[in-house]
Structure 1
Amino acid sequence: MDVRQLTYFVKLAETGNFTRAAEQLHIAQPALSIAIKKLESQLELPLFHRNDRKVMLTHEGSILLEHARLILQQMEDANIAMAELRGLEKGEVRLGLPSMLGSYFFPEILMGFKSQYPNLKLTIVEAGTQSIRKMLLNGELDLGIIHNADVPDSLATEHLINSQMVAVVGEGNPLAQQKTISFSDFFQHELVMFKQGYFHREFIDDVCHHHQFTPQIAFETNLLPMILKIVRNDFAITALLEMVTQHEQGLSAITFQQPVYLDIAIAWRKNGYLSVADRAFMEFVKQHCQ
């Protein structure tokens, strides 16, 4: 096996189509087909199930894909490290951010970092905690902001802030007069929630599982502006980080009788390479949080 073969193999596995994979690799389709057949011949194993429209990984192919992605990521890490030593790499930080933190906590941090390091590039991906963990493990992200719970062993984390999760209702809702609310009262109301995979939803699902509640989810969306509008217009209530209500009008925050605080952390791959840009960003964020 060589790096070129693994690159072709991964791209075909991701696209599931020889034509699309060849286009994205900027090679002719017959050349891709020959390269994949040669790889299968060398390994003496079938890597794909083929039909007219789509190719799918075999069991053997699925196992190779895990190793191939890791090898290609390590090669990329090595190239970045060597480029930095030559002084040729300006640097890029690929960061995963959940919606709420990306909207209310991190904008000032990102702008401050860019002001201090104008030649570094920031690439921000909005996603839920579960997706950010997967993208870190796959090498799609360098750093991610996640809920620091049930973290895979292959990720390292460092605490940044504790943030309170509160019930959120429209300011005209009768509940807005309450200072606290029980979980049982909260789950008697129709809810608008993020989809599964976001720490906001993980919190709700954990409470329901622990107390055996059945949530009445009337709306499910990953669009934070839509959630806020639904709550403002009193079509449903929700639970969000308290920082959201500190920046948004027309909403009231109600503390849960059993207060809920989330441990928000920055995460990275334990065995991954952190560039000079990544390390500079981590230090900048930690100083801001202190």
Structure 2
Amino acid sequence: MDIRHLQYITEIARYNSFTKAADSLHITQPTISKTIINLEQELNTEIFVRDGKQIKLTDAGETIMQYAEPILQLFDQLTAEINDLTYLNKGNIRIGIPPMAGSSYFPMVIKQFQAAYPGITIHMVEDGAKRIEERIVEGDIDVGAVLWPIDQAMFDSFPIVEDRLKVIMHPSHPMASRKHIELHELSQDRFILFSQQFALHERIIHECRAVGFEPQIVSESSHWDFIGEMVGADIGIAMLPDTICRLLAPEKVRAVALINPIMPWQLSMAWRREGYLSRASRAWIAFTKEYFGLLS
């Protein structure tokens, strides 16, 4: 017995007619009659009996009908849910966004995406880019904004933003009026870094070591605006993307170009290369790829 049998039995009982039931189901009367006969043989019991011109359910038929209605209702609900997901009328996406990128690059794209797909719910997860990579692999989130380079064997991705890091410092700093600074010149400065779950944490330390010094770290934070405030309080220097530097108050901090090395900051949208990716997630990827492609 399958869902088709329950549909046939229910329609026959509703119309009290094999012919009318067949018309309702858009099949022929011989087809529905043969299907019921085959089912009765399979179950070794009758489902319908004729009483004059009336078609009546047997005790077995009555028992089937008790279960058929709720089963068919659930089946209709399941079909509707699948159709909603298939045609993107509903769904969920878990997106990882670093705090530094969220306010600068994503509010408008999220607004436009939700206008295009109002039934899709977006769950935003704020975390450092390093931790976002880990959570994508673990399956906690579907897609996320991460810093390039990433493991291309593990992730598929496309670029969102290409920027470069600048040094921010208090206006009283001796190098605040410079047009550019070489990294080795900061060997005596105190550094304010992002927390360890952020990719920039290890990257800045690595670059400092590469030019011959160990950075003196005096504070760490997961919020770029708080880092800016600490620099404005003359606690130390920091490094932020040029786009973020423009959001800081110039009377509190100065942003100076970093050279030797130039440190690029490339934000990419990434997701697991292997494994299941929902239609909602694929719609987000396609939408954001087009959106940021038009901006570049």
Fold in common (TM above 0.5): yes
Residues 18-47 of structure 1 deviation map (CA, whole Å, 9 limit, x = unaligned): xxxxxxxxxxxxxxxxxxxxxxxxxxxxxx
Answer yes or no: is the 8 Å Cα contact 1:195–1:222 preserved in 2. yes
Looking at structure 2, the residues matched to 264 and 129 of structure 1 have their Cα atoms a distance apart, in angstroms, of: 9
Answer yes or no: is the 8 Å Cα contact 1:104–1:247 preserved in 2. no
Looking at structure 1, the residues matched to 159 and 176 of structure 2 have their Cα atoms a distance apart, in angstroms, of: 32
Looking at structure 1, the residues matched to 127 and 240 of structure 2 have their Cα atoms a distance apart, in angstroms, of: 16
Looking at structure 1, the residues matched to 152 and 160 of structure 2 have their Cα atoms a distance apart, in angstroms, of: 18
TM-score, normalization by structure 1 = 0.66
Structure 1: gaps spanning 5 or more residues: 1-81
Looking at structure 2, the residues matched to 223 and 269 of structure 1 have their Cα atoms a distance apart, in angstroms, of: 27
Answer yes or no: is the 8 Å Cα contact 2:189–2:216 preserved in 1. yes
Letter of the structure 1 residue corresponding to residue 220 of structure 2: E
Answer yes or no: is the 8 Å Cα contact 1:100–1:241 preserved in 2. no
Looking at structure 2, the residues matched to 134 and 83 of structure 1 have their Cα atoms a distance apart, in angstroms, of: 34
Instruction: Evaluate the alpha carbon distance shift between residue 86 and residue 117 of structure 1 in structure 2; reply closer, same or farther with a 3 A threshold.
Output: closer
TM-score, normalization by structure 2 = 0.65
Instruction: Evaluate the alpha carbon distance shift between residue 172 and residue 282 of structure 1 in structure 2; reply closer, same or farther with a 3 A threshold.
Output: farther
Looking at structure 1, the residues matched to 135 and 152 of structure 2 have their Cα atoms a distance apart, in angstroms, of: 12
After TM superposition, give the deviation of residue 215 of structure 1 in Å. 0.3
Answer yes or no: is the 8 Å Cα contact 2:163–2:265 preserved in 1. yes
SS in 1 for 2:236: coil
Task: Establish whether residue 263 from structure 1 lines up as the match of residue 266 from structure 2.
Answer: yes
**Could you say which residue in structure 1 is the equivalent of 2:186?**
186
> Which protein is bigger by CA-based radius of gyration?
2
Answer yes or no: is the 8 Å Cα contact 2:95–2:143 preserved in 1. yes
Looking at structure 2, the residues matched to 228 and 119 of structure 1 have their Cα atoms a distance apart, in angstroms, of: 38
After TM superposition, give the deviation of residue 138 of structure 1 in Å. 0.9
Residues 206-262 of structure 1 deviation map (CA, whole Å, 9 limit, x = unaligned): 202322311011111223332111011111110011111112213322111232212
Looking at structure 2, the residues matched to 84 and 129 of structure 1 have their Cα atoms a distance apart, in angstroms, of: 34
**Could you say which residue in structure 2 is the equivalent of 1:86?**
83
Letter of the structure 2 residue corresponding to residue 86 of structure 1: N
SS in 1 for 2:277: coil
Answer yes or no: is the 8 Å Cα contact 1:178–1:254 preserved in 2. yes
Looking at structure 2, the residues matched to 280 and 214 of structure 1 have their Cα atoms a distance apart, in angstroms, of: 45
**Could you say which residue in structure 2 is the equivalent of 1:156?**
156
After TM superposition, give the deviation of residue 129 of structure 1 in Å. 1.9
Looking at structure 1, the residues matched to 231 and 136 of structure 2 have their Cα atoms a distance apart, in angstroms, of: 33
After TM superposition, give the deviation of residue 117 of structure 1 in Å. 2.2
After TM superposition, give the deviation of residue 114 of structure 1 in Å. 2.2
Corresponding residue pairs, total: 209
Alignment of 1:1-290 (within 5 A): 85-87=82-84, 90-151=90-151, 153-249=153-249, 250-258=252-260, 259-290=262-293
Instruction: Evaluate the alpha carbon distance shift between residue 152 and residue 120 of structure 1 in structure 2; reply closer, same or farther with a 3 A threshold.
Output: same
After TM superposition, give the deviation of residue 195 of structure 1 in Å. 1.7
Instruction: Evaluate the alpha carbon distance shift between residue 128 and residue 190 of structure 1 in structure 2; reply closer, same or farther with a 3 A threshold.
Output: same
RMSD after superposition: 2.1
